[in-house]
Structure 1
Amino acid sequence: MKVYFKLFSLLFIVQTRHVSAAECGCKTFRTCYKEMVNALQDKDEETCIENASVGASTMIVYFTALKQYCSDVVEVINGGVTYDGRHLYEVIIHSQAVGREDEVVPVMMLEAGQEAGQQSVELALFIIEQLVACQEHNEMIEKIRWVILPCTNPDGMEYSRYDRPLWRKNTKAAQDGLSFGVDVSRNFETQWGACERVTNGYSAVYPGVAAVSENETIFVKNALLKYKKDMKAYLSIRRNGHAIMYPYAYAETGGPPQTARIVQVAGNIAKKINQRGSSIQVFLNDSIYNVNGEARCGHSVDYTFDLGVPLTFEMRVYHGADLDIISKFQPLPTGYLYSLRHSYFSGIRELYSAVIEELKTIKENKIF
């Protein structure tokens, strides 16, 4: 009887607990998300995904819960597996507005984690949470279909968590049986062979034996080809840096000239993030080549731009080693990471607004 009463009491506590929307940065919780958090969160667990320790198991649990509770706005697809057998997820977020069932919905794709590490994946999960959990962002998921690939190098992420924090490659074993790992961010086919060839498998920037040789690259490419017809924007989120960058990565000049529009949107995103974040460093905007100061061949942004997607960017998030150096000379402001995370999301909203503006212009031109 005592055991039964204890179980009943625990069930009652779980069912009656109430998590504040403000805890996750929302003004109002979407009903399904509120039910999910109230039903599943244990007392020792973090309420919001951005505060959790992010790993492959975290994503399994989180996406399983989203599918169970918020399937009306979220679809999670297992799009492939890595060399070590970890899932590559495609998260689709969209709320079909009444009366628009036959209308083609434009796509925005966000992809994170090519260069291993946790920071970019953490931001991608935070963006998913904001879109799904916060009722005030409902218009954003009615007008746009968000396709988010939240972790495109989970093997590298796990390896960097426990062994080598600066690791950037995947963990696929080389044919020589000695070295391992390919830099996924240099494995796409656009201009893959244009840079000086790196054949040393021990190199941190080893691009592989051929373009699109890796499961992770194939996964991203297949997603891009799947949605390219309706895709209006692509953003590759990567760690260690503080900038929004546009094509090209492989050369200072070459290929079709950059449109004034893509440069303008990059500037608007940078301005929004700088306004919102009050950062200790300025969020920059420039071409990928100019920011790196050298060619980066086999880049997914270049590949996507050449597919015809009009707004394509690489976004560097969190300062990495620069932040460690700065923190030795001055204390970081209270709530700095919270402010920075939300400032990045304000940049995502600015990109969304640019897509909506483009669609409005196209529609007006068709009418007249």
Structure 2
Amino acid sequence: MNVLIVVVTLFVLTAFAAQSGYEGNKVYRLKPTGKKQLEMLANLRNEKNLDFWTPLRRDEHPVDVMVNFKEEKWLTDLLKKNNITYDTLIDDVDSAVLEEHERQIFFPPTKQGRISFIKYHRHEEINAYLSRLAKDYPNLVSIQNIGKSYEGRDLDVIQISTNSSAGKPVIFIDAGIHAREWIAPAVALYAINQLVENKDNANLLEKVDWNILPVLNPDGYEYTHSTLLQRFWRKTRSQGNKCIGADANRNFDFHWAEIGSSSDECDDTYHGKHAFSEIEAIALSNYISQNKNRIKLYLTLHSFGQLILYPWGYTSELPRDNEELLSLGEAVAESIKNVSGTNYIVGSSTNILYAAAGGSDDWAKGVAGVELSYTIELPGGGLLGFDLPTWKILGVAKETWEGLKTFCKHISEKFN
């Protein structure tokens, strides 16, 4: 009977994949050289049939782009015309999505309130884990619901504190603002696991409290899990006039809609009808504003690119404390590299990438006044892009955890 179930499931999945919106799509790795080629690619970022999987960097680093099969010839002709070299990274996106989905569904289910790092967990499983920790460790963990998503899912922040010293500085971490970036919530979960369930890390709670929101965009995150048709969905799921959702990381009310986002609600970087049009962005901003006197470090986890970025995203001008931001970022990058050799690039967003205004990291520093604010672009899956294989989750989580400990050391020393 078990064999029959597996065979039938595979048959259904194969049939479903044949109807996928990614049928015939490819991913190309473009290798621009020179300012002219970079500017040409920058102008293509909002093309509806192109999906830039990696940020476009100013240092001529390769960029991965998924192309709709209908526009494949147009893109390759354009690249050749502009002398931009490229390789085929994923020849069949449809098959890659199916393979990932098969890996997910065939992992044994975890017990209620438990997690592992051999699969990507659903939002309900994640919140159940947070609730279980609050029950098992009442003197260490509390849960604060900061609101609900557009579709009514709970936005739960886990607050981890020994309460040994009132008013300790807070490190705040969020993940999953972009739905398709599954590794980000997984890394946030690993940090929670290490802080609460690993007694060897008790020293990290002596002088610092940790507040973590594992999935900021649960509607989009669940959407990417529940349908093969939209594995690479990025936005929220709010209702628009023509299309669904907005890019919540372009929706914050700080230089909103100035540069690096789209006014077309069908685009992946649509900045929303107005600043803070997205209920998830409002919930986050309200929580940070209410705790801004204690939050000394804001971290938002993304993927992929192996970048440690700090403000500003709307301008190439450097913040007045650039020296500290750069030095701390480099120390974190070194800590990560020491684990398994993973290299991160560190710098202000617009001096590494092309400008993008309205991000949460800019808002946290520029409006809420959080001194130290960073975006961490975690590693991707090499030839699999966003489909970071499940067997790589733990390795990425462990090396990133070492970087988080370096952040903690700095906050402990500076604010106590």
Question: The TM-score by the shorter chain falls in which range?
Answer: 0.7 to 0.9
Structure 1 distance, partners of 2:363, 2:350, is 14
**1:114 corresponds to which of 177, 180, 204:** 177
Whether 1:62 aligns to 2:122 is no
Residues 186-232 of structure 1 show CA distances to partners (whole Å, capped at 9, x for unaligned) of 00011103216622111011010101111100111011101111111
Structure 1 distance, partners of 2:339, 2:217, is 30
**2:396 corresponds to which of 340, 343, 349:** 340
1:216–1:44 CA distance, 2 compared to 1 (3 A): closer
Structure 2 distance, partners of 1:319, 1:139, is 31
**Would you say the 8 A contact 1:192–1:297 is kept in 2?**
yes
**Would you say the 8 A contact 1:249–1:288 is kept in 2?**
yes
Q: Which amino acid aligns with 2:135?
A: Q
The alignment yields a C-alpha RMSD, in angstroms, of 2.3
Greater Cα offset, 133-142 or 264-273? 133-142
Q: Which residue of 2 aligns with 1:262?
A: 325
**Would you say the 8 A contact 1:277–1:342 is kept in 2?**
no
**Would you say the 8 A contact 1:50–1:123 is kept in 2?**
no
Q: CA deviation at 1:323?
A: 4.2
**1:78 corresponds to which of 145, 149, 152:** 145
Structure 2 distance, partners of 1:277, 1:191, is 38
Aligned-pair identity in percent equals: 25
Where 1:50 maps in the other structure, the secondary structure is coil
Structure 1 distance, partners of 2:337, 2:261, is 38
**1:299 corresponds to which of 346, 351, 359:** 359
Structure 2 distance, partners of 1:63, 1:147, is 12
Where 2:300 maps in the other structure, the secondary structure is strand
1:337–1:51 CA distance, 2 compared to 1 (3 A): closer
Greater Cα offset, 194-203 or 338-347? 194-203
Whether 1:45 aligns to 2:107 is no
**Would you say the 8 A contact 2:311–2:373 is kept in 1?**
yes
Whether 1:231 aligns to 2:295 is yes
**Would you say the 8 A contact 1:185–1:299 is kept in 2?**
yes
Q: Which residue of 2 aligns with 1:359?
A: 415
Structure 1 distance, partners of 2:155, 2:199, is 28
Greater Cα offset, 78-87 or 183-192? 78-87
Q: Which residue of 2 aligns with 1:324?
A: 384
Unaligned runs of 5+ in 2: 1-107
1:262–1:68 CA distance, 2 compared to 1 (3 A): same
Whether 1:310 aligns to 2:371 is yes
Structure 1 distance, partners of 2:109, 2:153, is 27
Q: CA deviation at 1:72?
A: 1.2
Q: Which amino acid aligns with 1:94?
A: S
Give the total of aligned pairs.
302
Unaligned runs of 5+ in 1: 1-42, 361-368
Residues 124-168 of structure 1 show CA distances to partners (whole Å, capped at 9, x for unaligned) of 111111100000111212311111111100011011123312211
Where 1:224 maps in the other structure, the secondary structure is helix
Where 1:143 maps in the other structure, the secondary structure is coil
Q: Which amino acid aligns with 1:303?
A: W
Q: Which residue of 2 aligns with 1:211?
A: 275
Where 1:244 maps in the other structure, the secondary structure is strand
